[in-house]
Amino acid sequence: MMETYTGKVGRIIYQKDDFLIAKFSTGDDDMTIKGSIYGVEQGEELTVYGEWEHHPKYGKQLAVERWERPIPQTEEQAIAFLASPLIKGCGEKQARQIVARLGAEALQRITNEGEDCLLPIKGIGQQKARKIVDSVRSTFEVQNIMAELMVYGITTNMAMKLYKEYGSNTVEVIKRNPYNLTELNLIGFLKADEIARKIGIPPSSRYRIDACVDFVLKEKCYTSGHCYLPKDELIQETERILNHNTDEKVSANEIARSLYYLADRKLVIEDDCVYPKSLYRYEKDLARKLSEMRGSRDGEAMPLVENHIKWYQKQNNIVLAEKQREAIRKLFREQLMILTGNPGTGKTTVIRAMLDIYKKIYPDHDVALAAPTGRASRKLAEVAGHEASTIHRLIGYRVGCEPDFNRDYPLPHQLIIIDEMSMVDVQLAFLLMDAVRTDAKVLFVGDVDQLPSVNPGNVLKDMIEAGLPSVKLTEVFRQAQESQIITNAHRVNQGKPLLIDESKSDMYFIHQEDPEKITQLIVKSALRFRQLGYDTADILILSPMKKGPIGTQILNQKLQQALNPPHPTKKEWKIKTTTFRQHDKVIQTQNDYTKDVFNGDVGIITDITQMTNDEGDKVDVLICNFMDREVVYTKEDLKQLQLAYAITIHKSQGGQAPVVIIPVSTSHYVMLARNLIYTGMTRAEKRLVFIGTKKAMNMAIQNNRISQRNTRLAQRIAVAETAAKEVIL
């Protein structure tokens, strides 16, 4: 039975986002309350509504279903409320001045009259008055909005975000169309559908059908790497989701009508291919720019190139292979060029040669090197002997903002080299090429046999299929042939089984079927490499999946316990289910330009301490070392970090480590694919260890059924070229 109590918040036992457990004193009784209670302070007065339940640790407590701040009735209550942290721009002295002028009804007058009633008070200007009015209004307005929306399953945190977007119209907007929740990325379609049922939105609602079409299209594209879905497939999948667990069925015709209603607003339909509008634009404009630049030829420096190739070979006491020399010639002949090759075929050597020869011929030209991730860009800088950056930094791109460089303000560089091009999705490729001047040279470097980009598109493969100028290095050099890692990577790529010479120490296969024992062996192997002198940062454990007995989540827990166990001298933070401890290995999971760290960067936690912020307050911080550079995180920032003793093979792209350990088990059969194993193998520099079964390994090697991605980039490049030729004729 619902009970109601008014009292003061005592000691706050636990608080995270919009969930709180606290002591609560009613004057007659002390109790513990818990629930979605947002933004309250110790000592604040609340009215709570809820039901009693028993907690094994805290005993009898009230599970709060809704709550509210009582409107102050006396002058002292009004002063206390105005002086509280809830009201921005108002301290106790100011609060007393306001109440002295406006009386016990100060809050009602501020709410009704706005800034006008505050401006006559000494010391309150327009800006401060606006802050106070906004704080007072939002405090009680949000409270009412929360009370109305929580009955439908909308959390306090969600209600706060909705209020920021829709203000006082929040309840009206959500009751009319709860699928707006998906527009703000607060929840997915299925959760919004559940809320819509509680509100009473009919299954045949246009809002519901439109939201489901949008959900299915984006979900399929962004989880499977597609740029579009065939119209029939989109209708069929949307129909399945809409008609699941409902008596009132939505027809395929109604969904088709929704498609055409959404056309040009959220999606584009072309030849029965349905694109999210943004992906259509990226693909179309990228094809146009690539085609435009492909039509350009240089050739001006060609007479000098042969002599400079000879000069470079003599200067560096090497003999370049014929394919390497062909790549250098083609770079100087074409505006666009693609250089591909598997490990050991000399991509690094030819990139260095291209750079040196280019600088010799064009000493005044500006050259830029870039890669999709921070790790990949640092590796490129190291091997090329030239400064490199992420593509995002090169073009000045931040999420939610337009890049600094684009077609109107192009990059100043005459030569741009992009490494790890297989990782580049259609959006990033478009933003990059949109910023490139049409008379610049662009060299794309990559390995088409690695995993494609995480996000939509298969750009490197499509550019090669479209016939853009390319050279594939095929000769494996003698030094590389001595490496079992490189030799076996080539064998895997050709669909052949591993051949391991046990007398050598660079590659091992440890047989074990039981997934639990595989995990134990991974931990033992990591400890053994530590004993051999390798640092934690040198050891990379790669798993195909996050979940399961040998997924990264469990492996990280086990490896953290073994490699960096708790100790009284080590500080640590527990955030939800993850403990971050001094000396832990962590990975950055998103680009953060303010901190100058990027998705895929791996670092070590060096300290957990307190620092003084800009306001002079002490705040808890975690300090992490990335490549000899300290980066500071608050607790709120830690959603950007994950433990990195073990990471997925997808996350490892663009980086390498001296030691790589990979589990291969039939428990991960859905992820056993040739390009996945090949990508993992090619991360290892000195030692590679597989732990698992030959059966699972052979399943992976034989599985070359790479998921086909729906893209039309290659086709568009060809069409754009044909159109350009027709214009010339």
Tell whether 347 is in a known binding site.
yes
- The pLDDT tens digits for 227-255 are 999 999 999 999 999 998 777 889 999 99
**E strands of 526-640, at which residues?**
539-543, 572-575, 578-581, 585-588, 602-612, 618-626, 629-633
State the Cα–Cα distance between residues 176 and 196, nearest whole angstrom. Answer: 9
pLDDT in tens, 7-17: 888 888 877 65
Both tokens of residue 130?
Answer: 């606006």
Percent with pLDDT over 70 in the chain:
95
Looking at mean pLDDT, say which of 399-413, 465-479, 515-529 comes out highest.
515-529
Share of the chain above pLDDT 90, in %: 48
Domains 281-475 and 482-565+580-692 share a fold: yes
Of the listed ranges 42-51, 265-274, 619-628, the least confidently predicted one is 42-51
Reported as a pLDDT band with limits 50, 70 and 90, residue 33 is confident
Query: Is 729 a residue whose pLDDT tops 60?
Result: no
Sequence-distant (≥ 6) Cβ neighbours of residue 571 within 8 angstroms: 581, 582, 607, 608, 609
Domain 156-272 CATH assignment equals 1.10.10: yes
Beta strands across the sheet bearing 267-270: 229-230, 273-276, 267-270
* β-pairing verdict for 641-643 and 470-473: unpaired
Q: What is the CATH number of domain 482-565+580-692?
A: 3.40.50.300
Question: What's the topology of domain 281-475?
Answer: Rossmann fold (3.40.50)
Residues 259-313 have pLDDT tens digits of 999 998 899 999 999 999 999 999 999 999 999 998 766 656 677 888 999 999 9
pLDDT band at 83 (very low <50, low <70, confident <90, very high): confident
CA 647 to CA 552: how far, in whole Å?
6
111 is in an annotated binding site: no
Q: Where are the domains of the chain?
A: 1-69, 71-130, 156-272, 281-475, 482-565+580-692
pLDDT band at 726 (very low <50, low <70, confident <90, very high): low
Dump the DSSP string for 410-444.
Answer: ----SEEEE--GGG--HHHHHHHHHTS-TTSEEEE
Q: Is 345 annotated as a binding residue?
A: yes
Q: Per CATH, which fold does 71-130 belong to?
A: DNA polymerase; domain 1 (1.10.150)
Which pLDDT tens digit goes with each residue over 461-471?
999 999 999 99
What's the average model confidence in pLDDT over 305-327? 92
Domain 1-69 fold: OB fold (Dihydrolipoamide Acetyltransferase, E2P) (2.40.50)
Look at residue 728 in the predicted model and tell me its pLDDT: 46
pTM of the model: 0.80
Other beta carbons less than 10 A from residue 481's beta carbon: 12
